[in-house]
């Protein structure tokens, strides 16, 4: 009889997995819609589940930059620890090892405490995003199962990978997925966990969407709900996403498993680029399928599209009329090299 670990690995390899990543406001939602329209794709939208299981993307970035982990919030941390001690009862022996994962599921320490205080439906957008893929009780159940069954013996990362397999399998099968279909998960920040995914899921592929960072900044300006509004931070965010993507594309260990798709190329040469995307993902890329998807995902058909909406105009070169000369100069100085590496004109208006 196979061990639980081997069973999980075998089940995970029965179907393909595609992870759509890239800097927010670069067109990742458009790609999700393309996949969602395909009959052989089972899609999940922005669970950010690996930001919970592994580490939040900004912490991953800080570590890559060699930044200090000290955040100057010691008093709040002490208050959280005291509250946690009062509210989180009957802790399992494995709790210390998985404490950060449990807290990060909610994205907010306050919401984590509210949940354990008996408020079962705390209002937290990040928690709601994860729910289609995973509930908090299910996360606790999977951790306990991984620990109790000793399904892995390769350390914490192997346990995380085993749990991730179970999460993807549960979601895929609950939505009727079969061996001829492909699981597509779109979370921009999973770019920073792409190596983890490629190492532990041999069947996984990564699609990174890139877009002219100046147009990304303009799109961030218009969508104030989640996006940073300080220009320097917008540029920093875009540049670190594309730098991470470049490292991934250039890593010979993952040759043939990473696709970098330019937003502008998909806009200008839709049929050819969409066919290339679907073929790379292991999906039917026949001319009939491509034409049907193009018609269904035309942004002009979106009733909720427009300025300030999640679906905006998707214009190429919108920064030419929306960014000041000072902002354009700041972008050149901060991220001009990355623009050039992606094939954009760093000095162009």
Residue with tokens 């994205």: 107
Per-residue model confidence as pLDDT tens digits over 157-210: 999 999 999 999 999 999 999 989 999 999 999 999 999 999 999 999 999 999
What the block records as the tokens of 195 is 């190596």
Per-residue model confidence as pLDDT tens digits over 205-229: 999 999 999 999 999 988 777 777 8
31: left (phi over 0), alpha (psi -120 to 50) or beta: alpha
Is residue 64 predicted with pLDDT exceeding 90? no
Over residues 65-82, the mean pLDDT reads 67
- Among 1, 77, 21, 53, which Cα is nearest to 204's? 21
Residue 184's DSSP bridge partners are 18, 43
Rounding to the nearest 10 degrees, give the CA dihedral for residues 24, 312, 269, 195: 10
- At 127, the pLDDT band (50, 70, 90 cuts) reads low
C-alpha span between 334 and 239 (Å, rounded):
8
Residue 255, number of CB atoms within 10 A of its CB? 9
Is residue 1 predicted with pLDDT exceeding 60? no
The alpha carbon dihedral of 89, 135, 81, 52 has a sign of positive
C-alpha span between 332 and 339 (Å, rounded):
8
Per-residue model confidence as pLDDT tens digits over 81-95: 899 999 998 899 999
What is the pLDDT, as a whole number, of residue 8? 40
Is residue 65 predicted with pLDDT exceeding 80? no
Is residue 289 predicted with pLDDT exceeding 90? yes
Q: Which CATH class is domain 4-341?
A: alpha beta
Per-residue model confidence as pLDDT tens digits over 246-283: 999 999 999 999 999 999 999 999 999 999 999 999 99
Over residues 28-34, the mean pLDDT reads 93
- At 108, the pLDDT band (50, 70, 90 cuts) reads confident
Q: In Å, how far are 72, 214, 314 from 344, measured between CA atoms? A: 39, 10, 17
> What ranges do the domains of the chain cover?
4-341
Over residues 58-79, the mean pLDDT reads 64
Q: Are 296 and 37 in contact (CB under 8 A)?
A: yes
């Amino acid at each position: 009889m196979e061990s639980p670990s081997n069973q999980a690995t075998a089940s995970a390899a029965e179907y393909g997995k595609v992870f759509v990543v890239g800097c927010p406001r670069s067109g990742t939602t458009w790609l999700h819609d393309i996949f969602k329209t395909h009959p052989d794709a089972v899609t999940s939208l922005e669970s950010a589940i690996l930001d919970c299981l592994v580490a939040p993307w900004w912490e991953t970035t800080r570590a890559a930059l060699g930044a200090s982990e000290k955040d100057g919030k010691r008093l709040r941390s002490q208050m959280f620890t005291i509250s946690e001690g009062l509210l989180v009862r009957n802790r399992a022996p494995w709790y210390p090892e998985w404490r950060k994962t449990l807290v990060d599921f909610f994205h907010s320490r306050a919401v984590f405490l509210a949940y354990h205080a008996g408020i079962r439906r705390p209002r937290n957008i990040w928690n709601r995003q994860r729910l289609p893929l995973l509930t908090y009780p299910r996360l606790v159940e999977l951790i306990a199962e991984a620990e109790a069954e000793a399904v892995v013996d390769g350390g914490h990362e192997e346990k995380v990978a085993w749990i991730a397999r179970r999460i993807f399998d549960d979601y895929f099968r609950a939505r009727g997925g079969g061996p001829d279909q492909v699981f597509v998960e779109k979370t921009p920040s999973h770019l920073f966990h792409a190596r983890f995914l490629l190492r532990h899921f041999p069947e996984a592929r990564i699609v990174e969407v890139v877009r002219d960072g100046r147009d990304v900044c303009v799109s961030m300006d218009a969508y104030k709900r989640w996006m940073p509004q300080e220009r320097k931070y917008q540029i920093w965010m875009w540049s670190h996403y594309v730098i991470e993507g470049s490292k991934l594309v250039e890593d010979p260990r993952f040759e043939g498993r990473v696709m970098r798709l330019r937003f502008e190329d998909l806009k200008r040469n839709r049929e050819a680029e969409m066919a290339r995307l679907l073929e790379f993902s292991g999906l039917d890329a026949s001319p009939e399928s491509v034409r049907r998807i193009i018609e269904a995902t035309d942004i002009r058909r979106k009733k909720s599209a427009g300025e300030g909406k999640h679906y905006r105009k998707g214009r190429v070169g919108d920064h030419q009329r929306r960014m000041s000369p000072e902002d354009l100069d700041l972008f050149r100085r901060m991220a001009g090299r990355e623009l050039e590496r992606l094939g954009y004109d760093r000095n162009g208006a």
